[in-house]
DNA sequence: TGTTGCCGAGACCGATAGTCTCGTCAAGGG
DNA sequence: CCCTTGACGAGACTATCGGTCTCGGCAACA
């Protein structure tokens, strides 16, 4: 016990290899499942690790899955600045749709959202995870508004929701493509 | 055994009161849960019925839940025909958003979608369930196109997905309102 | 060398979907 | 009028899962 409120670390240290193995196994299984549930048992077994090692470092299964996605697969979304509102929105839509088309990100993200539907803890983590993406759209719209490219009566919040509403709808249902051509037509559709 | 391939019904008949009790209980619990899972045990107990009676007549829990919603709560969506594309789309958006705001439909639908995320059988039933709603939007757009109110380069499929994409996104996340004013602004936003 | 704390392994708990069995009860045929 | 059929409520049972707990072992540091 020291005066700074934390004490010296004693005993065995955290095994970094186990952490890596867990995240690797989680992402593999997540990507392979493509929507189907992934159990903790399966992750631990695939990582050659005890379940307790998992729960010692993560608060829930969802936290492990989300970290596996963010650490290994979820590339940063660019914040395009092409000089025009239409250009920015097109670029962001293309990048967003593109990232959601290929493994391991796409199937892992699909599984994660499905899990979040039943796991309030994961749902909250996902909400935070997606918040930065929403903020990126907001910034694009705000820059456009300042340039006079966005009519004052357009509600930015509604536009952001339209953007991600369509994205998630098509991503989760998978009934229609999310290719670059669609992205550009979609961005243009949003701006009218 | 008769020559027509079906045989005489013998034995005790299906208890219609039990069927009603199951659907009533399911809708009540579905609405009360508002997203939280509803177990088969709970439904059967609330209906005063054995679990086997449930599984004798429905293939899965999801099927019971969906039938409870469609039989008891899901009012038919109007197919508005106001004479203009904008009027029709506004009316449908207002009606759709309205239906998703109040119990028991709203919380029951939320629970159902969450369950569908983990139950492929239910997901397929839900897909069929929502198909007629999508068709209604398609019809509105097609009438508008024939009247020359919709530019030929607008993709109707994309517009339908934009319509339900935003709806589900806001409905499931619940972070922004789905009131009549929003519905009208949204319809106008879609048409540009 | 002893204390601390992580390790893998797996038993354990509680909840759940779905199956199976039991004794009972209703409907119709012979 | 009874006997066969099949639905009924009840609940035991299986299998799966998230999460907790305990065990013997081991690594790091004092």
Structure confidence by residue, pLDDT tens digits, A152-163: 999 999 999 999
Three-class secondary structure assignment of chain A = CCCCCCCCCCCCCCCHHHHHHHHHHHHHHHHHHCCCCCCHHHHHHHHCCCHHHHHHHCCCHHHHHHHHHHHHCCCCCCCCCCCCHHHHHHHHHHHHHHHCCCCCHHHHHHHHHHHHCCCHHHHHHHHHHHHHHHHHHHHHHHHHHHCCCCCCCCCHHHHHHHHHHHHHHHHHHCCCCCCHHHHHHHHHHHHC
Domains of chain A: 16-72 (1.10.10.60), 85-191 (1.10.357.10)
Q: What is chain B's mean pLDDT, rounded?
A: 94
Evaluate if residue B3 carries a pLDDT over 60: no
Give the distance, in angstroms, between residue B154 CA and nucleotide C18 C1'.
48
Q: Do A189 and B161 touch (CB under 8 A)?
A: no
Mean pLDDT of all residues in B31-58: 97
From B162, which residue of chain A is nearest by alpha-carbon distance? A166
Shortest alpha-carbon distance between residue B4 and chain A (Å): 41
The answer for residues whose C-beta is within 8 angstroms of residue A137's C-beta and 6 or more apart is A89, A92, A159, A160, A163, A164
pLDDT value of residue B75: 74
Mean pLDDT of all residues in B109-129: 95
Mean pLDDT of all residues in B119-140: 95
Mean pLDDT of all residues in B138-158: 97
Q: What does the angle CA A11 – CA A14 – CA A18 come to, to the nearest 5 degrees?
A: 140
pLDDT value of residue A42: 98
Percentage of residues of chain A with pLDDT beyond 90? 90
pLDDT value of residue B139: 97
pLDDT value of residue A7: 58
Rounded Cα gap, residues B117 and A118, in angstroms: 8
Mean pLDDT of all residues in A75-82: 87
Task: pLDDT band for A73, please (50, 70, 90 cuts).
Answer: confident
Task: pLDDT band for B7, please (50, 70, 90 cuts).
Answer: low
Shortest alpha-carbon distance between residue A93 and chain B (Å): 14
Evaluate if residue B111 carries a pLDDT over 80: yes
Interface A-B, measured as beta-carbon pairs within 8 A, has a size of 74
Of B114, B117, B189, the CB nearest to A158: B189
From B172, which residue of chain A is nearest by alpha-carbon distance? A117
In this structure, are residues A169 and A149 in contact, taking their beta carbons and an 8 Å threshold?
A: no
Q: Which residues of A touch B168 (CB under 8 A)?
A: 165, 168-169
Is the CB atom of residue A52 positioned under 7 angstroms from any atom of strand C? yes
Tell me if the bond preceding B104 is cis, omega within 30° of 0.
yes
CB-CB neighbours of A184 under 10 Å: 17
Mean pLDDT of all residues in A15-25: 98
B5 token code pair? 């391939």
Evaluate if residue A6 carries a pLDDT over 80: no
Q: Which residues of A touch B150 (CB under 8 A)?
A: none
B18 token code pair? 């039990």
Q: Do A166 and B166 touch (CB under 8 A)?
A: yes
Q: Do A169 and B170 touch (CB under 8 A)?
A: no
pLDDT value of residue A1: 35
Among the listed ranges A8-12, A60-64, A116-120, B128-132, which one has the minimum average pLDDT value?
A8-12
Q: Do B158 and A186 touch (CB under 8 A)?
A: yes
Q: Do B169 and A168 touch (CB under 8 A)?
A: yes
pLDDT value of residue A164: 98
B3 token code pair? 């020559």
pLDDT value of residue A52: 98
Rounded Cα gap, residues B160 and B96, in angstroms: 13
Evaluate if residue B5 carries a pLDDT over 90: no
Half-sphere exposure of B61 (CA within 13 A, CB side): 18
Among the listed ranges A91-95, B75-79, B105-109, which one has the minimum average pLDDT value?
B75-79
Strand C: which nucleotides have any atom within 7 A of a protein Cβ? 3-11, 15-22, 25-29
């Amino acid at each position: 016990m020291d005066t700074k409120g934390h004490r010296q670390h004693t005993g065995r240290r955290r095994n970094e290899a186990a952490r890596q193995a867990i995240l690797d196994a989680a992402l593999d299984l997540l990507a392979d499942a493509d929507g189907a549930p992934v159990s903790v048992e399966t992750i631990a077994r695939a990582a050659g690790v005890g379940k307790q090692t998992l729960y010692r470092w993560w608060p829930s299964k969802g936290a492990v899955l989300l970290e596996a996605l963010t650490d290994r697969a979820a590339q940063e979304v660019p914040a395009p600045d092409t000089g025009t509102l239409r250009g920015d929105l097109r670029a962001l839509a293309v990048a967003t749709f593109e990232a959601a088309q290929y493994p391991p990100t796409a199937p892992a993200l699909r599984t994660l959202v499905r899990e979040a539907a039943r796991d309030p803890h994961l749902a909250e983590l996902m909400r935070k995870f997606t918040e930065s993406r929403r903020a990126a759209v907001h910034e694009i719209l705000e820059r456009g508004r300042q340039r006079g490219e966005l009519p004052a009566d357009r509600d930015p919040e509604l536009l952001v929701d339209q953007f991600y509403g369509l994205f998630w709808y098509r991503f989760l249902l998978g009934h229609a493509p999310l290719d670059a051509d669609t992205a550009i037509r979609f961005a243009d559709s949003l701006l009218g």
